[in-house]
């Protein structure tokens, strides 16, 4: 009963006006792993570089193979990959600065409550992470549920398609479990702006006579605006999926924190975990 009350209070506390913003006193959480015990970790730095190199490699490979006179940039999948690339590059910059203590960043970040302002780079990283993780899950779900084998065009690069429609989610979920900074439910508002922007883009693209890389007059069959009802239904479904995934990610974040506190108590009874 007490645990239920704590969970309810924690959930309610998310719906405060300040949680629309990106201020957080424990700045070290944006530079460290949830699971490292020391102040810095070479393993976490190596992980950061590997993840960044993976997404950069995927992006460059896709760009070379699927550029198609710029048609590469009309697909939501590729928007997602580009967001993941920027997120991981910014993450590796923050982790590297922390590890080598550039500009005495560790002492500054560990001042805790004395920190009055969250750095712009940290805010931007937090925003990008909040957008890119649910987007990766949406891309994977929609593609394998509704688009795979139904795109009215050949799948020329099946391996790359698997990487961008499956491994993208796997890698971003792993990243979500490793990082230490918090999830804010109200940040889902910013994530949900992306499907609105993309939907508007597909409408404008359609009425401007745009085609996909095989000459079809749509970006995706589900967003063929010759049948507006189908497009609107797709948009509503994606929007609902965003709501579901953002809530599930928040629950997973809370569970991750619970596991960390539990293991910290087992490994070192005097250890104070990240709260």
Written as one string, the DSSP assignment of 76-97 is HHHHHHHHHHHHHHHHHHHHHH
What's the confidence (pLDDT) of residue 176?
Answer: 98
Q: Looking at residues 133-143, what average pLDDT do you find?
A: 97
pTM for the model:
0.91
Nearest to 130 by CA among 79, 94, 172, 81: 172
What's the confidence (pLDDT) of residue 152?
Answer: 83
How is residue 33 annotated by DSSP? B
What's the confidence (pLDDT) of residue 256?
Answer: 95
Q: Looking at residues 5-24, what average pLDDT do you find?
A: 79
Q: Looking at residues 188-214, what average pLDDT do you find?
A: 94
Maximum average pLDDT range among 8-12, 13-17, 139-143: 139-143
Q: How confident is the model at residue 272 (pLDDT cuts 50, 70, 90)?
A: very low
What's the confidence (pLDDT) of residue 211?
Answer: 94
Are residues 64 and 160 in contact, defined by beta-carbon separation less than 8 angstroms?
no
Q: What is the mean pLDDT of the chain?
A: 90
Range in 82-96, 108-122, 149-163, 223-237 the model is least confident about: 108-122
Q: Report domain extents, the chain.
A: 26-271
Longest dimension (CA), the chain: 65
Q: Looking at residues 130-146, what average pLDDT do you find?
A: 96
Residue listed under structure tokens 């949406």 = 138
Residues 6+ away with beta carbon under 8 Å from 52: 85, 88, 89, 91, 92
Are residues 150 and 221 in contact, defined by beta-carbon separation less than 8 angstroms?
yes
Q: How confident is the model at residue 93 (pLDDT cuts 50, 70, 90)?
A: very high
């Amino acid at each position: 009963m007490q645990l239920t009350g704590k969970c309810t209070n924690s959930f309610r506390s998310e719906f405060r006006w300040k949680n629309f913003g990106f201020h957080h006193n424990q700045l070290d959480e944006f530079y460290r792993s949830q699971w490292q015990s020391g102040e810095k970790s070479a393993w976490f730095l190596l992980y950061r570089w590997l993840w960044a190199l993976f997404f950069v490699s995927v992006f460059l490979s896709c760009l070379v193979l699927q550029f198609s006179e710029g048609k590469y940039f009309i697909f939501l999948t590729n928007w997602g990959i580009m967001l993941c690339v920027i997120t991981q590059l910014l993450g590796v910059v923050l982790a590297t600065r922390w590890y080598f203590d550039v500009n005495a960043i560790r002492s500054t970040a560990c001042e805790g409550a004395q920190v009055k302002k969250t750095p712009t780079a940290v805010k931007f990283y937090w925003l990008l992470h909040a957008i890119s993780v649910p987007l990766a899950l949406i891309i994977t779900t929609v593609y394998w549920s509704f688009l795979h084998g139904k795109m009215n065009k050949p799948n020329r690069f099946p391996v790359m398609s698997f990487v961008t429609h499956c491994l993208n989610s796997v890698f971003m979920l792993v990243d979500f479990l490793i990082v230490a900074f918090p999830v804010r439910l109200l940040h889902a508002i910013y994530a949900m702006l992306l499907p609105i922007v993309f939907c508007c883009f597909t409408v404008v693209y359609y009425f401007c006579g745009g085609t996909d890389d095989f000459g079809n007059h749509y970006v995706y069959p589900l967003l063929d605006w010759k049948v507006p009802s189908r497009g609107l239904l797709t948009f509503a479904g994606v929007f609902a999926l965003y709501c579901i995934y953002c809530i599930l990610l928040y629950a997973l974040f809370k569970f991750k924190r619970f596991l960390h506190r539990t293991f910290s108590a087992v490994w070192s009874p005097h250890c104070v975990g990240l709260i």
